[in-house]
Amino acid sequence: MNVEQLDIRDHLAQFAPFDSLSDDLLDKVAASVEIRYFQAGTELLVKDQPIEALWYVRSGAVEMYLRNGRLFNRLGEGDIFGYSDLLRNRRVRYPVRAIEDTLIYFIPAEVFEEVCDQDDEFAEFVDTGGQRLKATVEQQRHDSDMMTTRVRKLLGRPAEMIEAGVTLQEAAQRMRDANTTCVLVIEPAEKASPYTFIDRDGHGRRLCGILTDRDFCTRVLAEGVTPQAPATDAMSRQLIVVQSDETVYEAMLSMLRNQVHHLPVLHRRQPIGVLHLSDIVRYETHSSLFLVNNIFLQNEVDQLAHLSEEVRTAFARMVADGANSEMVGRALATVGRSFAHRLIELAEARLGPPPVPYCFMVLGSMARDEPTITADQDNALVLDDRFDPEQHDAYFEALAKFVSDGLAACGYPYCKGDVMATNPRWRQPLQVWKRYFTEWMDAPNPERLLHSSIFFDLAAVHGEEPLVEALQDLIAERAPQRPFFLAAMARNALGRTPPLGFFRTFVMEQDGKHRKSINLKRRGTAPLADLVRVHALACGSKAQNTFARLDDIAKTRLLADGVNERLRYAFEFLSMVRIRHQAHDIEQGEEPDNNIEPENIDSRERHHLKDAFEVISHAQKFLGFRYPMPSKRSRG
């Protein structure tokens, strides 16, 4: 391979889908490349012309257009085009034009097809084409549906085994001495079966049953069986087993289906242990469910604060186990709300019963079930209309301070914008809250729009939930009838744009400690949640979660076919990149944040990021069209 081909090879290897090719295939591609230079303004491909090569942008930039002349995509260094035409009928579907001086690598169709045949990842990349993001998210979702932890990881000791001729009394003594709740019963193997194995002495043995503590209760004591009877009289003969490389999830399903608490674990038919339900419970001691239970067992703020590190452990483990963003968000929201709930209970125990009914509500990402490990606290108090500030506010002020200080101690920083129940403005009776919300929708201004973006994501945590539900009902009823408010919210949602430059390059932070990075919350998930909220308000949805709002929006005609699905995939992908980044920070002993550096992620993920950001960009452009600002005459 000459110097020029080595240069081509090195460049291809930096970008998807070539970065995953074997050395042999990459060499073959590089050796086949032809190079051409095009000046800016050159028509590279026109509709229906024959195409005999895959086009790869070495430098420069090009634009692709739809049949009606509208811009479809901009491509830059490392991008490819023409693959969908090669896979169809070798006729150009989308015209392409160079928008700056551009150098193109041509990969012959025959080589392209050979690589597709020999490399599944390459073929999948080009097969999905514009649906790359969808395919990636679907794969993540599939992976997250199955726990990846293997059963063998949970086994703490070898299986306790007894011979079939052992008496029940001897079996009970073995269980007592081994401090176990079951023994496996074995016998000499007369013929091969799924349960035959070779023991340490080289003898053939067969696993013929399992004897558990429950068997002693129901089949020995309850039936009056003599302790001198053989263990085989009381054992369970219908064995339910699990292989050592099966997942914990599969083992749990087997236990549920068969109503058993013990599963013998086999490795190539050799019994290596017994999985008990308690092993799974113990394994889950760092899970969100166990953590929530533990939160409500604590009686002091200091005790709750000690659990904050377990939140990070549970978060990192969920990510490692393949949980998707909905699972992670829901778990973290449940944990966060549980901290608040328990703190309120402790506050009431200290301050006495509340003088009037109330409801403590959370706002923003915690209400949407979408917080990450970096979430701060946004909360408020909705009080019964019998609330009298002079008589009652001292109690609720003390309660709010106790809860807010406690949340800060538990790892939820104070809100920098002071959106907390400690602020008397956000500690009001229901009638005042209704007035707030009505004013924000009827006469929006910049401050009121900001409040709407925060407070219109709301969820009850503790107290009289109908107080919060009344506000949700008010929003759902009034917002769709306020076109000026919707138009103002739509324009407000355009304040944070995705970080894509004109040539589909990333626009990164230019100063500060996060220089040359992208804030995935500020430039990705937040603007996407903002624009989905506008559509949800327009259709009267009461859902708080972004995915649930998209479900409600899908029932309407607000969005064109396919848009809802693209928004869903973009939100999931960006959320998972953000979550995985934070989990990696925790594993490295660093403080988690929202900033990623594109140069530190592989080219395939950079492609997906660009796809997701483009979805946001197109959706933001649609907002202004869908919610035009009414004329002054039509406003009132």
Q: 3-class SS at 242?
A: strand
Query: In what order do the strands lie in the sheet containing 96-98?
Result: 43-45, 96-98, 62-65, 71-75
Angstrom distance (rounded) from CA 400 to CA 428: 12
Please name the residue ranges forming H helices in 19-108: 23-32, 83-88
N residues, the chain:
636
Q: 3-class SS at 77?
A: coil
Q: Which of 373, 454, 372 is nearest to 415 (CA)?
A: 454
Q: What pLDDT does residue 132 have?
A: 58
Angstrom distance (rounded) from CA 8 to CA 29: 9
In Å, what is the CA distance from 2 to each residue of 5, 8, 30, 66, 445? 5, 10, 10, 40, 65
Phi, psi of 357, deg, nearest 5: -60, 155
Q: What pLDDT does residue 515 have?
A: 62
Q: What pLDDT does residue 531 have?
A: 96
Q: What pLDDT does residue 573 have?
A: 92
Angstrom distance (rounded) from CA 271 to CA 147: 23
Radius of gyration of the chain (CA): 31
In Å, what is the CA distance from 530 to each residue of 456, 482, 563? 11, 17, 16
Taking 50 as the pLDDT cut, the residues of the chain under it are 130, 142-147, 285-286, 502-503, 633, 636
| Contact criterion met (CB below 8 Å) for 52 and 108 | yes
Torsion of the alpha carbons at 82, 83, 89 and 95, rounded to the nearest 10:
-20
Question: 479 is written with which tokens?
Answer: 């917002």
Q: Are strands 262-267 and 242-243 parallel, antiparallel or unpaired?
A: parallel
Q: Which of 364, 358, 599 is nearest to 458 (CA)?
A: 364
Question: 460 is written with which tokens?
Answer: 């009850």
Query: In what order do the strands lie in the sheet containing 182-188?
Result: 161-163, 182-188, 204-212, 196-198
| Eight-class DSSP state of 413 | P
Residue burial 243-282, b: 16+ Cβ < 10 Å; e: rest = ebebbbbbbbebbeeeebebbbbbeebebbbbbbeebbee
Identify the bridge partners of residue 274 per DSSP, sorted by sequence position.
Answer: 264
| Contact criterion met (CB below 8 Å) for 598 and 544 | no
Query: 289, exposed or middle or buried, with CB in 10 Å at 0-12, 13-18, 19+?
Result: middle
In Å, what is the CA distance from 67 to each residue of 9, 40, 72, 376, 502? 34, 21, 9, 48, 22
Torsion of the alpha carbons at 401, 407, 413 and 417, rounded to the nearest 10:
-40
- 3-state DSSP: the chain helix, strand, coil percent, rounded to 5? 50, 15, 30
